[in-house]
Amino acid sequence: MAFWWPLLVLAAAYALCRVLLFLIPPTVPSMEVDASDVMEEVNQNKEDSFIYVPRKGKAAQTDMVRCYEPATMKYLGYFPALTPDEVQEHVAQARKAQEVWAKSSFKQRRQFLRILLKYILEHQDLICEISSRDTGKTMVDASLGEIMTTCEKIHWLLDEGEKWLKPEYRSCGRSMLHKSAKVEFHPLGVIGAIVSWNYPFHNVFNPMLAAVFSGNAAVIKVSEHASWSGCFYSRIIQAALLAVGAPDNLVHIVTGFAETGQALVSSVDKIIFVGSPGVGRMIMQKASETLIPVTLELGGKDAFIVCEDVDLPNVVQVAVRAALQSSGQNCAGAERFYVHKDIYPTFVSRVVKIIKSISVVS
């Protein structure tokens, strides 16, 4: 007994330490991101004011992406419309950085997520205001659709990401009992994303988070209708990557029009697209030339079904919001309404009354 007692004490102490380490959150440093040049009203009407990711190619620029506040038409800034050669240069730099990042530990990747999460929670108003100014959405819409969803995805990756990327052992079947089988998950390389304007913060972070946590690099083409906010959000990403010692050029934001997006599809190892079915078909066709995997989130015609026993005053409010949120440009928006005939007249009259009371303001 004298021999085993010290071992039991040590084992109990070790177990207690493990529990405490699990319960005590790791130290997460704060980071600062300069937003002075995007929030100063004095700069917003100057034709030469801009923020953008520094050019990687030639200094000359003929085509520009110009950005304005949709609510006020105030000038926000301009960005380069990258040529195919410039896009390929961005991808090449990302590919070189990814070779280093692929060897990073999950501990380092989780710290990257924690730093991002802390910044987002501490600067919600700034993020929402920039999203609101660039798209015309309300601060409430920005908070619910941008902040909440992004934070939830970060939490999921922190809790579940490593588990889903661990090797999986599989059965070989009876005829291969002398064999063993294992599925390993390796980074693909450079993940490209072409994202829509309606959720500029979330749509930049959504593909980037999973790509970087999985050991990949990311090159994201933001919408020409939301380039101002997208390029500012890049500063947040770069600051967090710097804080964890990630290699330079791991994440790129590129701006431009259709030509820029086409060049991205031809250069990366996987493409993610958020947008219309028509463009989605073209991207899938282009991706088939190099046989890269494709993830498409396309628009549809969501149905809103109203039964006869609903709480009508509440449902009417929800229906109007479902139809008009983000000016109707919303992946979860309702575009077809099926209303029970017994309550149809009342439903329509209440919807019309609410819509007539709505005014478009800045």
Q: How many helices (H) and strands (E) does the chain have?
A: 14, 11
Instruction: Please give the biggest Cα pair distance in the chain.
Output: 85
Q: pTM (2 decimals)?
A: 0.84
* Among the listed residues 80, 18, 24, the one whose alpha carbon sits nearest the alpha carbon of residue 221: 80
263 forms beta bridges with: none
Range in 48-52, 213-217, 261-265 with the lowest mean pLDDT:
48-52
- Domain boundaries of the chain, sorted by first residue: 69-171+179-298, 303-357
Contact in structure between 249 and 93 (CB atoms under 8 Å) = yes
Contact in structure between 68 and 75 (CB atoms under 8 Å) = yes
**DSSP code per residue over 148-159:** IHHHHHHHHIII
- Tokens coding 46: 């100057």
Q: What is the DSSP letter of 4?
A: H
Q: What is the DSSP letter of 257?
A: S
79 forms beta bridges with: 65
**In the predicted structure, residue 339 carries a pLDDT above the cut 70:** yes
pLDDT score for 11: 58
310: left (phi over 0), alpha (psi -120 to 50) or beta: beta
Question: Which residue's entry shows tokens 């409430």?
Answer: 140
Contact in structure between 240 and 65 (CB atoms under 8 Å) = no
- Residue 60's pLDDT band, with cuts at 50, 70 and 90, is very low
- What's the rounded mean pLDDT across residues 29-51? 66
pLDDT score for 13: 54
Dihedral (CA of 127, 131, 136, 138) sign: negative
pLDDT score for 43: 47
In one-letter notation, the amino acid at residue 264 is L
pLDDT score for 38: 82
* Among the listed residues 235, 237, 160, the one whose alpha carbon sits nearest the alpha carbon of residue 205: 237
> CA 167, 113, 263: angle at the middle one, nearest 5?
80
**In the predicted structure, residue 49 carries a pLDDT above the cut 70:** no
pLDDT score for 54: 43
- Tokens coding 19: 């529990």
pLDDT score for 176: 84
H runs (alpha helix) in 102-199: 106-122, 124-135, 139-142, 149-156, 162-165
Rounded to whole angstroms, the Cα distance separating 248 from 242 reads 8
Rounded to whole angstroms, the Cα distance separating 68 from 78 reads 9
**In the predicted structure, residue 165 carries a pLDDT above the cut 90:** yes
Dihedral (CA of 334, 337, 340, 343) sign: positive
215: left (phi over 0), alpha (psi -120 to 50) or beta: left
**In the predicted structure, residue 219 carries a pLDDT above the cut 80:** yes
pLDDT score for 177: 81
Rounded to whole angstroms, the Cα distance separating 345 from 110 reads 54
pLDDT score for 330: 84
Q: State percent of the chain over pLDDT 70.
A: 86
Burial-class residue 318 by CB neighbours within 10 Å (0-12, 13-18, 19+).
middle
Residues with active-site annotation: 297
Rounded to whole angstroms, the Cα distance separating 40 from 138 reads 20
170 forms beta bridges with: 181
Q: What is the DSSP letter of 226?
A: S
**Statement: 69-171+179-298 belongs to CATH 2.40.50.140:** no
- What's the rounded mean pLDDT across residues 222-236? 96
Q: What is the pLDDT of residues 274-332, one digit of tens each?
A: 999 999 999 999 999 999 999 999 988 889 999 999 999 999 999 998 998 887 788 88
Cα end-to-end distance, the chain, whole Å: 78
- Residue 21's pLDDT band, with cuts at 50, 70 and 90, is very low
pLDDT score for 46: 46
- Tokens coding 219: 């090159």
